Structure formats: C-alpha cells, structure tokens
Amino acid sequence: MEAQKQTLSERFYRALLRLFPFDFRGDFGPEMEQAFKEQRVHARREAGNIGLLRLWWETLAGIFTTAPAEHLAMLQQDVRYALRMMRKNAGYTAVAVITLALGIGANTAIVSVINTVLLQPLPYQQGDRLVMLHQRADKAGLANILYSVPEIKDFRQQNSTLSGLVEYHSMQFMLLSKEGATRVRAGVVSDGFFGMFGVKPILGRDFTPADDQPGAPAVLLLSNEYWKHHEHGDPAIVGKTFQMNDRVHTVIGVLPPVPQYPNENDVYMPTSACPFRSRPKMIANRNGRMMSLFGRMKPGVSAEHCKADLSLISARMVAQHPDAYPKELDINTAAVSLRQELTKGAAPMLLMLAAAAGCVLLIACANVANLTLARMAGRERELVLRSALGAGKGRLLRQLFTESLILGLLAACLGVVFASQSLKLLVDFTARLTPRAREIQVDGYMLLFALAAAFLTSIVSGSVSALYSRQDLAAGLKDGNAHSTSGRHRVHARDVLVVCQVAFSFLLLVGAGLMLRSFSKLRNVDPGFVPQRVLAMTIDLNWSKYSGKPELVRRVSNQLLEKTQSQPGVLAAAISSSYPMDPDNTGGGWNQRLTIEGHPQRDGEHPPISSIRSVSPDYFKALGIPLIAGRVFNEADSDKVPDVVVINRTAARHYWRNDDPIGRRVSFDGGEHWIKVIGVVGDVREFGLDKEPGDEAYVAQAQTPALGSIVLRTSQDGMNIANQMRRAILEVDPQTAIPNVQTLEQARNASMASPRVMTDLLGIFAALALAIAAFGIGGILALTVNQRLNEIGIRVALGAKPRDLLAMILRQGMTLVLIGLAIGLASAMGLTRLMKTLLFEVLPTDPLTFAGVSLVLGAAALLACYVPARRALRIDPLRALRSE
Amino acid sequence: METSLTPAMFQVLLALGDGEKHGYAILKEVEDQTGGEVRLSTGTLYAIIKRLLIEGAIQECRHRPPVEEDDQRRRYYRITPAGRQVAIQEAERMERLIATAREKHFLKRLRPA
C-alpha cells in the first residue's frame, strides 16, 4: 500500500516536472525527484498528513511560478542569440525575410479577398436564405430571361417555400433640378425589398405597400453615396422634391452605406413610379419580362424543396399560357443561392491566384529551409561543440525554431505591409468579377492569417532544418568528426528542396505563360472594326420628352448628326442604339426572334435569334466595318419606304448557307411584316473579344429610331475633341445626359482588363518564383563549391582543366534542375487543365508554352549555376588546399 | 554577477558556506538557518541552483561521500571563491544597511557584550 502510494506521488511529481523546459528537466529532474522524496519523508514524520499537504501546496506553487520563468528566460536567451546570428548574417536574413514576406504578403492579400468574397456570409440578415430566381430558356441557351408582372403575381400567390418575394429592375432616368440634368441609375423595387435584405433607411422611412399602388405619389429613397456626393449629406433631405419622368418625386429617406446588390443605384423608387413598369399594358403583358426576382426561403425549407416548389409553379404557368412559353424555348424557373450568384464569376480566378500565391509561399519556405541548412553546414562545428558541451538536442532544436520563428514574424510584419499596399489593386480586379469586392478591407482575419502563415512557414522551414540537423548531430557526435559522411543526409535534403523549387516554379511559370499566350491571342483577335480614332458617346435624352414620339426622336437624331458631322476633326458620324463593347451593353443587348422567309421552323430546331442594332448610314464607315455584299443604308432608306435590313456574315452563312441573301426577306414579328435584306457586312465582336460573333441584324435608324449613342471617326485622338462634341450635343438639347465618353480603343482595352490583370498578377508571381528558385540553386551550388574547395584544389593541382571543373559543377547543379523540370512538367500536364475556363484559344497543354517555360527556367538555372562555378575556376589551388 | 542576488539565492549561498551539500540538504539548511521562516520548494531551489551554476557562484563537486551514504541521483554542490565573494559583498551591504537603520533609530543600539 505504502509503496503504491509513493509511486503515485512520484509519478505525479514527475509529471509536474514536465512543465519545465526539456533541458532543465534533463539537468535537474532526477535530483529534484530525490530531494522531493526526502522532503516528503521528513514532512510526514514531522507533521503527518498536514505536513504532506503543506509540502504539496508549497511544491505546486514553486513549480507553477518557476517553470514559466524558466521558459521565458530560455526564450529570451534564444531570441538574443537568434538576433545576434541574424545580425551576423545580415545578407542571409534579408533574403530570407524578403522572400518570405513576399510569399506571406501575396497569400494574405488573396486569402482576405477569398475570405470576404467567397466564404463570408452576405452582409444581410441570414443572407444564406436569400435566393435569386432564374427564368431560363434552355433551348435558346439563355440563362435568365427575367420575369413579367403576371408571372411575378403567380409566383407570389402560389409558392409555399418563400417568406418573401421581391422584384427589382434598374433603369436610367434624367433627374432634373435647378442645377441641370443628371442621369441617375434608379433601382425600381417592390414593397418589402429592403426589409427582405434587412436594410433600414438611416433617415426617413422605407417604402410601404401604399407607395407601390398604381397612381400613388412618386417617392424616392436615396443611396448613401448619392446623398453624400450630390446632396452633401443634407440632414434635411427628406421631403425634397425632384422632377423626373414628368412627375414630381419626393425624397422619403436615405439608405445606410451597405453594398448594394444586385447593382449600385443612385436612387430607388417603387414599381408604381417607374413609367415603364406601371403602364397598364406592361402589367397585363405576360411577355413583358424585365424584372429580376429575389426570395427569402422560409426557415426550415431546404434549397431542393424551394427549387421543386418554384419549378412546379413554372410548369403550371407553361401549361396555362402556352402562347407565352413557346415549346421550342423550354422556359423553366430555377432558384439559385444569391451568394453563389454574386460570386460565380470571381471564384475560378481567385482560386487560381490563391494557388499561385501558395506556390510562391512554398518556394519561399523551401528557400529559407535551404538557406538555414546551408548555413548550418557552416555552423556544424559550433553545433556539435555545443551539443558535446551539454546543450541537449531539445535545446538546439528550440534554438532553430526560435530563429525561424523570428524570421517568420519579421516576414509577416513586412508581408502585411505588402498585402495592404496591394489590396487596392486586388479590389479593383475583383470588382470586375463580383459586387462583393466592396466589402474587402484590411481586417482582423487578414492579420490573423499573416500570423498563422508566419507560424506555418517557421514550422515548415524549421522542421526541415531540424530534421536533418538532428541526424547530423547524432552522427557527428558519434565519430566526433564534423565532416563525417552524415553530411550526405543534409546534402540530400538540400537537393530535394532545390528539385521542389524548380518544380513549383515550373508550375507557376507555365500558368503565367498560358495566361500570357491566351492574352496575346485575345489582343490579336480582329474585333471586326477599326477601333483606332473612334469616339463613342452614350446619349441619354430626357425620356419623358421623347417617349412614344418617334418623329421627335428622328428629328433630334438628324440635328445631332448634322451638328456633330460639321465639327472640325470629324470624318464620319453616326447614331446607333449602342456600340461594340459598350460597357452598359455587355450582356447581349437587344435580341429578337427572327423568321426567315421560306424557312419554316422545324420541330426541335432552335429558333433563330438575332441581336439587333439600329444605326444611321455612316455607322459602318465610322467603325470601319467592311461591306461584303449588297449595300449599306443610305439617305433613301427613310420611314417613307419599306424597311430594309443589313445582316452580318455569320447570319448570312447561318440562314442561307451558300445562297445569296441579298433580296431575301426576314421578319421580326413572326411573319406579319417582311423586311428585305439589302447587304451583308463583316462580323463584329460586340460583347467582348473572347465571344464569338453571333447573328447580327442592323436596321435603319430612320426606319426604327433608337438613340443610344453617337460614334465618330476622327482625324486625331478622339478624346481631344470630346469636350467640343459634348458642347455641340448640349446645344441641340440641353436636357441631354452624356454619361459615358470613350474611344473604342479604350472600350476594347477595358473589355480585356480582367484577363490583363490576371496575366500581370500571375506574371509577377512567376517572376518572383523564378528569382527565388534561381537564387536558391545558385546559393546551394556556391556552398557546395565552398565545401569542396579542398577537392577542387587537389584537382587543379593535379592538372584538371578549367573546362572539366566547370562541367563537373554545372553537371551537379543541372541534374537537380532537370529532375525538377521533369517533375514540374508532369504535374503541370495534369494541373493546367483546371485553368481551362480562363484560357482563350490556348490548350492547357500548349506545347509552345511548355517548351518556352522549360527554356526560360533552364536558362535561369544555368546562369544560377554558372556564377558559383566561375568562382571555383578562379580558386588558387594553394589556398584551396589549405582551407581544411 | 550579472543579476542581483535575491534573498533566496543569498540563503542558498549561506547554506553552502560551511561545506558541500546535496539538494535536500540545502533545503533543510535554509529552513534551519531561518528558523523555519524560509521554506524553499524543489522547483524554486533548482531554478536558483541553475542560475548560480551559470553565474559561477557554485559548482558541482567531483568527489562523492562514501558509497553507503550516497544516492546516485544526488548531486553535491559547493560554493566557489567567486560565490563566496558575492555572498560576502551581500552580507557587508546588509551590515551597512543595518548600521544605517540603527543610526536612524529603526533598531536599538547594540549593547556591548
């Protein structure tokens, strides 16, 4: 019994000793146990159990106060020592810290973007229950044809899974005040829209059901930005009135500064205030689809349940109104999580960037581990000596980890600086892909991630060096020779690290190379027009003045044309409904179903759909679109003569194959009115260089008036005369807004902005990787040369030719590089497939890119090997021989 | 010495003043010489021993007592000349302190023996 009790106490005491640092325990543990045992015997003899209790109390208090102090003292000592070593090797420290900082910085920035955009819930109450409804026309390949008023009513009345269903559409209106005409983007929403998203006005009130009734007085809610920038944050704004669409609109409130989805708007109005949405004809028309629908799933309803509910209603509508849902379009409704909907464009690019940044960090880690190992070779004697003098293994490991941790923390500090500096660039980039970009900021998560990355890199690079140093020390102690064969382990480890660096660099370079190839292909795509020296101006007439008066539109169009054409520097001017790569018109524009005379619609065949643009005669001349057959519009094609149409080459091939389309007829209204084809023009990439041109039809501006923009071919850079043109347009009608002025070259460049930024970012990462890897290879070889000075000296003394020496050292370096290249090549073959969606007309295994990258990497590695090899050649054999 | 001598460290040096001792013996000696007022725990004692070893104020003895009294786990420590010097300086400092305290009448004057 007594013996067992003693062992229990002893065991407990021994366990307590584990609180002390490893070395302390190793030095004094057994003694302390012995002393404690004697203390216990004494205490029991003197004061029995009370004495024992008192002893335990004192012992525990002693251990709990001294153990942390011992750890702290050791840490202080280690930190001091590490800092001293780092100062002594300032070059090594700087390289390690900077490479790690670049890796940590890149990862921190990208991870905080991913965290905000892809991982955080939407900034709305229970944002994950919000869904967006998509009315799809599967057979026509349309992902969302939007909803009409009767459809909205049906979904509201019949669904059982949504606690709220609100509609939204966005329009641009002219807001008239004493200061002049401003174009505003107005969000038109149904009652309950803001409530469903959990947004409450900071001033005034939200829309009420009464505001939404037909004929209700027009009211407005201002967005926070509009209120601040245009109304100077006027606290007495509620009650102010504006003239818009020929009606007086009263401000009833101001929204808080929350990110606005699905679009940024200046003002919001109820459906009753929108002149289009409130027309009785619109309200009754099941085909008048222009609204987006958002819903909130009831608590406990699963996404599947909701989907099933909505598609049932959709099927019922199709059955009840076959006219509105042509069979050949296969219209149906699907519910998509709003979060997914808002971020789907950003996910592939962000994940790709994260992978690239991760690669850079790994390469940097390998580099630091390698540098540490290399440096340890120099410190081998010191370490073996310290070990022999009684510094425990644990002590040395702790020392190594402290060093790499300090490196990591320094790098993290610098990395956060890099990250916060580069965040703006990333936010601009992400903003092209998702509206959530506005939420990105330097936050606690970002700092936490940088810290975690610092610890992780310290552990990775620390463990690698520790792993090999441990084996070395053990062996080094055994035979007491610092240059023992055990060195091979470490040489081996360094080789593995170099191979990894080369392989990862190869991956990154291939990624960047593919993007570069894809981008240059994209840039060289013929857009179908000549973008140089073309100025495009978006024109917004005061809609309420011209609505329903085509005669008036025609007249103002002619005035505008005359006015702009007569300006100096203008070679050709045209009016059109929109222009190619118009940023406001990237979605697909104005599409119409087409009927071709003599081509009855066959069952199961996709109905021809064509994108339509209304243009004045000089449009083709201004943009440099070539005429292929027939003629383009001229002054004679007025509203007094039968309508005519010009089609593009794709449409001509599509509908008439090898026949001549000139003189054939098409209809936009199912055969009620037939329009003659008078000409065929070249294809234009209207919606982006990466989008194949579709079927296009041009109608004459004089016959189908639509005034959206003015395009001008100019004799010099268009932007030079932009202000002059602006004045000319306002002279025709001062109530005109000109929200967007750009040259087509700018429009074309803007359409390539996200692939360009992506290419730049990947290129930066790849260059970084290449530099780090080259540095790593060079550093390792330099070290090997140093270690083999003796051998090299002997060889030189024995008459080895410089050429042989050079070959020997290069062979050693390049063998590793070639192994790395082979591994990189094999993994790249598999991994680049993931990039497929980001590439334009380039195969993920593009042989040219792979070959080019191999060459670049090989050349960089060769150079990195050559520098230390040259040094070896200049060695004085006598000095080399003495180096031992 | 790099760091100042704590009272507990001073006590340990005093305990070693009359010859080498092992850990438990030091604990007992400190308790005895302070009349049971200072009771060091093993943790505190060995943290002190470690510091004194590093500072060179004490050292481990090479020779050990006769086998029948010995325990392999014990180690014996003795004060070094440097350690003795440190302890003397500390004692003198305290003496000066006491003298000052007497002058200022914090303590009674010593009566001649």
Q: Are A86 and A409 in contact (CB under 8 A)?
A: no
pLDDT value at position A329? 73
Residue of A12, A17, A27, A28 to mutate for B, most B C-beta atoms under 10 A = A28
Q: Which residues of B touch A31 (CB under 8 A)?
A: 22-23, 46, 73-75
Q: Which residues of A touch B39 (CB under 8 A)?
A: 58
pLDDT value at position A387? 66
Look at residue A860 and give its three-state secondary structure.
Answer: helix
pLDDT category at B12 given cuts 50, 70, 90 is very high
In this structure, chain A runs to a length of 884
Whether residue A62 and residue B44 make contact (CB cut-off 8 A), yes or no, is: yes
CB pairs under 8 A between A and B: 61
pLDDT value at position A479? 44
d(CA A187, CA A658): 47
Whether residue A31 and residue B71 make contact (CB cut-off 8 A), yes or no, is: no
Q: Which residues of B touch A33 (CB under 8 A)?
A: 73
- A25 has a chain B CB within 8 A of its CB: no
Whether residue B75 and residue A35 make contact (CB cut-off 8 A), yes or no, is: no
Phi, psi of A250 (to 5 degrees): -105, 130
Helix (H) or strand (E) holding A248: strand A247-254
pLDDT value at position A455? 87
Whether residue A31 and residue B74 make contact (CB cut-off 8 A), yes or no, is: yes
Whether residue A36 and residue B42 make contact (CB cut-off 8 A), yes or no, is: yes
Q: Other CB atoms closer than 10 Å to residue A848's CB: what's the count? A: 12
- Nearest CA of chain A to the CA of B44: how many Å? 5
pLDDT value at position A380? 66
Q: Are A644 and A617 in contact (CB under 8 A)?
A: no
**β partners of residue B76:** B22
Whether residue A66 and residue B50 make contact (CB cut-off 8 A), yes or no, is: no
Both tokens assigned to A604: 């199961």
- A10 has a chain B CB within 8 A of its CB: no
- B41 has a chain A CB within 8 A of its CB: yes
- Nearest CA of chain A to the CA of B19: how many Å? 18
d(CA B23, CA B15): 11
Q: How far apart are the first and last CA of chain A?
A: 64
Q: Which of B41, B73, B74 lies nearest to residue A59, judging by beta carbons?
A: B41
Q: Are A711 and A573 in contact (CB under 8 A)?
A: yes
Closest residue of A to B42, CA-based? A32
Closest residue of B to A30, CA-based? B73
Instruction: Supply the ipTM of this predicted assembly.
Output: 0.86
Please, what CATH class does the domain formed by B7-103 belong to? Answer: mainly alpha
Q: Which residues of A touch B50 (CB under 8 A)?
A: 24, 27-28, 70
pLDDT value at position A68? 93
Whether residue B23 and residue A27 make contact (CB cut-off 8 A), yes or no, is: no
- B38 has a chain A CB within 8 A of its CB: no
Residue window 65-94, chain B: list those with CB within 8 Å of chain A: 71, 73-75
* Residue indicated by tokens 């590089």: A817
Phi, psi of A54 (to 5 degrees): -65, -40
Q: Which of A31, A34, A66 lies nearest to residue B43, judging by beta carbons?
A: A66
Residue of B29, B41, B49, B72 to mutate for A, most A C-beta atoms under 10 A = B41
Nearest to A646 by CA among A624, A615, A671, A673: A615
- Nearest CA of chain A to the CA of B48: how many Å? 10
Both tokens assigned to A100: 């790690």
pLDDT at B111 over 70: no
pLDDT value at position A383? 67
- A63 has a chain B CB within 8 A of its CB: yes
d(CA A556, CA A14): 96
Whether residue A39 and residue B43 make contact (CB cut-off 8 A), yes or no, is: no
Q: Other CB atoms closer than 10 Å to residue B70's CB: what's the count? A: 12
Give percent of chain B above pLDDT 70: 84
pLDDT value at position A678? 94
Whether residue B73 and residue A31 make contact (CB cut-off 8 A), yes or no, is: yes
Q: Which of A34, A61, A69 lies nearest to residue B41, judging by beta carbons?
A: A61
- B54 has a chain A CB within 8 A of its CB: no
- Longest distance between any two alpha carbons in chain A, whole Å: 125
Q: Which of A35, A65, A69 lies nearest to residue B42, judging by beta carbons?
A: A35
- A65 has a chain B CB within 8 A of its CB: yes
Closest residue of B to A71, CA-based? B47
- A848 has a chain B CB within 8 A of its CB: no
pLDDT value at position A5? 56
d(CA A397, CA A380): 14
d(CA B60, CA B50): 11
The series of mean pLDDT values per 10 residues for chain A, 884 residues long, is 63 89 83 88 87 90 92 88 82 81 88 86 82 83 82 92 91 76 86 89 92 90 91 90 86 86 85 87 85 91 90 91 80 86 81 87 82 68 66 69 86 90 83 79 82 85 68 49 47 78 88 88 88 89 76 87 89 90 64 75 61 90 92 90 91 86 86 89 86 86 86 87 87 82 88 83 86 79 75 80 83 88 91 84 90 91 85 72 60
Is the preceding omega at residue A68 within 30 degrees of 0, hence cis? no
Both tokens assigned to A883: 């180096």
Q: Which of B43, B49, B71 lies nearest to residue A67, judging by beta carbons?
A: B43
Domain boundaries, chain B: 7-103
Q: Based on C-alpha coordinates, what's the Rg of chain A?
A: 37
pLDDT value at position A490? 55
Look at residue A741 and give its three-state secondary structure.
Answer: strand
Q: Note the pLDDT tens digit of each residue in A595-627.
A: 888 776 655 555 666 788 889 999 999 999 999
d(CA A607, CA A604): 9
Residue A875 CA: distances (Å) to CA of A217, A627, A785, A791: 93, 73, 10, 11
Q: Note the pLDDT tens digit of each residue in A32-61.
A: 988 998 888 888 888 888 888 988 999 999
Both tokens assigned to A265: 């708007």
Q: Which of B24, B40, B50 lies nearest to residue A28, judging by beta carbons?
A: B50
pLDDT at B71 over 90: no
d(CA A752, CA A761): 14
Q: Which residues of A touch B23 (CB under 8 A)?
A: 31-32, 34-35
Sheet holding B21-22, edge to edge: B21-22, B76-79, B58-60
Stretch B5-14: mean pLDDT:
90
